[in-house]
Structure 1
Amino acid sequence: MITIREATIEDLHVLRDIGIETYREHFSDIWTTTGIQNFLSEDFSVFELQKSIESPTRHCWLIAFDEEGRAIGFSKINWSKPAPLSAQVGAELQKIYFLKSQAGKGYGKQFLKFIQDSAQNHNEDFIWLDVLKTNSNAQRFYEGFGFRTLGEIPFSTDKAEIGMVVMGCDLSQ
């Protein structure tokens, strides 16, 4: 069982550390060493995180903790964002990552359910995300929660052109 709560400014460094660690664990193979460092320095900079955390009407950062109170995962939701390839506006699930050591414990299901409930509590009736085109396991996971493929959009790193699959889920049912 995990505990999930909204991140506050006091969590900034924990969020930065877990963000960098999980991103490196999951995506270091799609970047060069310099490329991933540049991406992480920008995406998880203290300045960018602080600005985002301090905008709760636009963004929501969630942190997942294990039974010992250690941060093991996090998520970022952007409220009321237009989905690519669709006329729908809804909550964008921009990030959801767990430490690799925590995989297979059912935490992702618990976290995604929490995120869907949070979106509904913010009067969002649609939630969408994009996932690497090559990540069929994640796509199947989201399909199990009612997400459907809306189409593909380009995505590249400094190493390769990969592409993303955009998926969406109607929450109004």
Structure 2
Amino acid sequence: MFTVRQALLEDLTQVRDIGIHTYRAHFGELWHYPHELEAFLAEDFSVSALEQTLRDPDVCWLLAYENDALVGYARLNVDSLLAPTQTRGAELQKIYFLPGHAGNGYGQRLFEQVQQRAIERRQKTLWLEVLQRNTGAQRFYQRQGLSICGETCYTSAQGSIGIWYMSKAL
């Protein structure tokens, strides 16, 4: 059975663990130096950073379960600025599943929950960033009704990575 619920402050350790695990699985190869990856994860998934977002009324963490096992999550930020259009809307900042739990319809069901939360928060737009080279994710988002509305580039010591902005009206 697949279920989704909003994360609570008491879920901080679970959010941290699945966040680090899924980030390594999906993006670990983008980092040339393991110590830089570890520094990023330590900051992005620090207890203080997660506690702040779990308490923030403009951030919604959703946890996805298969039976009683946590298999995925999403993070939605409301009233977030979409740079190409200079409008505000709901930003789907993260939506990830553990390896082996993709391709079974769970992404669709979690996305529907994200979209519903955005509508409940009276957001007019749902938007996200996706790597230009991640064509599988782009196809998934296009099936959900999003389309490319701009582009940017993330530059770090690792190099530059092209990113598409995708959005849809709600």
Question: 2 CA distance for matches of 1:107 and 1:140?
Answer: 15
| CA distance in 2 between partners of 1:156 and 1:29 (Å) | 16
Q: What is residue 152 of structure 1 aligned with on the other side?
A: 151
Distance 1:78 1:15 in 2: 16
Aligned CA distance change for structure 1 residues 150 and 158 (closer, same or farther; 3 Å): same
Query: Which consecutive unaligned segments of at least 5 residues does structure 2 have?
Result: none
TM-score for both structures, normalised by structure 1: 0.94
Q: Which runs of 4+ in 1 moved over 4 A?
A: none
Q: Which residue does the alignment assign to 1:165?
A: 164
Question: What number of residue pairs does the alignment pair up?
Answer: 169
Q: What code does the residue aligned with 2:136 have?
A: N
- What's the TM-score once normalised by structure 2's chain length? 0.96
CA-atom RMSD in angstroms:
1.0
Q: Secondary structure at the match of 1:155?
A: strand
**Which residue of 2 is the match for residue 15 of structure 1?**
15
CA drift at 1:87:
2.7
Q: Deviations over 1:82-115 (max 9, x none)?
A: 1011132100000110001101111000010111
Identity %: 40
More strand by share: 2
Structure 1 stretches of 5 or more lacking a match?
none
Equivalent position of 1:49 in the other structure: 50
Task: Show the counterpart of 2:108.
Answer: 109
Residues in 1 aligned to 2:28 and 2:154: alpha-carbon distance in whole angstroms? 15
Q: Output one character per residue of 1:47-86: Cα deviation in whole Å (capped at 9) or x when no partner.
A: 1000110112x2111111111x111111111111110111
